[in-house]
Amino acid sequence: MLDKIREFSDLADKSGIKFCHFKSNATLGRAVTAKTDLDILFLEKDKEKITDLFRALKAIRFEAVKHKRYDKIDDFLAVDEASLSLIHFHVHYQLDIGEKNVKNYRLPFSEEIVDSRVKHPEIDFWTSSPEHELILLVLRQTLRVPEHTFRVKKLPKICKNAGKEHEWLKKRAVREKVESICDAWFPEDIASKICEVAFKEMTVKNIHGLGRVLRPHAEKYRTYEKSIFHDIKREYAMEKAKRSSKMGIPVPGKRTFPNRGLMIVFVGSDGSGKSSLADFVAGFFSKKIDVLKVYFGHGRSNKSLLLTLTGGIDRALRKTFKLISLKTELPRIIKYSGVTLSKKQMFKKAEKARAKGMLVVCDRFPQTDHDNINDGLRMNEYKISRNPILKHLSKWERNTYELRESVVPDIVFKILVDPGLAFERKGGSTKIENVRRKNEIVRMMKIPEGAKTIEIMNAGISLEELKGAVLRHIWRHIEDTNFLKGKNTEE
């Protein structure tokens, strides 16, 4: 069990807050090591205490996007610093079950389940009793089938994990207790049918047979009126978010910060590890929240359609002009006009994503102090040209790069590297003198006012240690901002 999860359990017990992990307890070991979510059921009357508990735990409440949001479920995230794990506390105040991403039934049994909680046989953590969990598993599998079954080609199969959980629970649940609970919750005919399914093999036929009997009775637990349009609207929103993500359009599809998002920038010389760190941070948080990764460079790592097009034109023109021995600035102008336009688009995209509450991770960042190096200006020499077009291009480029003053990052990591280490990492493809120069440029780089600057010397420490240091800085910054102070509770 991770230290942060143990701290949560101890704080809840000391505060007199009852809770239990109420599903998938067969794999609780994965949940308490942050490999899967922790599905915690609380009593709604303790909601104020629960908010204080997570504030003390320094866990941040993130908001699920509208089409995945439920009024009785909250998402709290915390970082276990010792293991560098992102913990997802999926907090339930009521027992909402039903179709995937809809949860259209609210069962009135949450208090009974929490009051009858037990300690897991192998892990010191509160869970629902095997009897209650077995009944809930059957109900969840039954009511998750879409009501409008004509929208699916065939009825859903029982997922493998549910089958494994069922076998695990059957070995631990006492049949007499299951029958007693079912008799208290449901009419006799439904109760007997649930018990029959619970202690037999969980098959599609058994589940859907139970559904025909259970659904009419479950109508009184419905949280909203029957509506195929409600389901279709959610499905459309989810599909839109998926497609937008693939196209690089900043549309949230998971969870966002409760107010404004966060922008993190990594700058450094070649071989400093800035790109590896940017990839790590984006990958670490994208498991649970919406992340936009922005690459401000114009090399091969930037696969934008615009740069691919202008780069291709540049190469083609260079070859053509070389054959006819014609010297001209045209290929260069086309290439760096594409680079400038690309940066302008990325500035807008980054700010738009942050405004929507997303985490924006930037690999590199434009600067205007040093030309032709470290993402500096490329057409600045044309500012004294007699050609009005070239002069205008130079001014346009500078104005675009100066957007950095309005799109102010929240955190800027300046990654400095030992020249010898950079030379070794690049396999001798970079000169030590160039690394020293770029290090100095990074160190002296002016950061927009309002951004928090953190310098890290990447020398003598492993990449894993570097990742840990960066992650701790980021999470402590989040804790110290208004994401935690006053914004970690429902308005």
What are the pLDDT digits (tens) for 305-346? 777 888 888 888 888 877 777 778 888 899 999 999 999 999
Edge-first strand order for the sheet with 262-268 is: 291-295, 359-363, 262-268, 411-417, 452-458
Which pLDDT score is estimated for 350?
93
At 362 the three-state DSSP class reads strand
CATH number corresponding to 258-480: 3.40.50.300
Q: Are 75 and 62 in contact (CB under 8 A)?
A: yes
Give the whole-angstrom CA distance, residue 411 versus residue 262: 8
What mean pLDDT is predicted for residues 446-470? 81
Which pLDDT score is estimated for 487?
47
Name the token pair of 166: 């069922």
| pLDDT tens digits, one per residue of 184-221 | 999 999 999 999 899 987 787 788 888 888 988 988 88
Give domain limits for the chain. 3-228, 258-480
| pLDDT tens digits, one per residue of 376-409 | 899 999 999 999 999 999 999 999 999 888 889 9
Give the whole-angstrom CA distance, residue 348 versus residue 286: 21
Q: What are all long-range contacts of 31-34, with beta carbons under 8 Å and residues at least 24 apart?
A: 32/1, 32/2, 32/5, 32/123, 32/125, 33/1, 33/2, 33/83, 33/85, 34/2, 34/5, 34/80, 34/83, 34/85, 34/86, 34/87, 34/88
What mean pLDDT is predicted for residues 93-98? 90
Above pLDDT 70, what percent of the chain?
87
Q: What is the pTM of this model?
A: 0.84
Q: Is the dihedral of CA 352, 354, 359, 361 positive or negative?
A: positive
Which pLDDT score is estimated for 131?
94
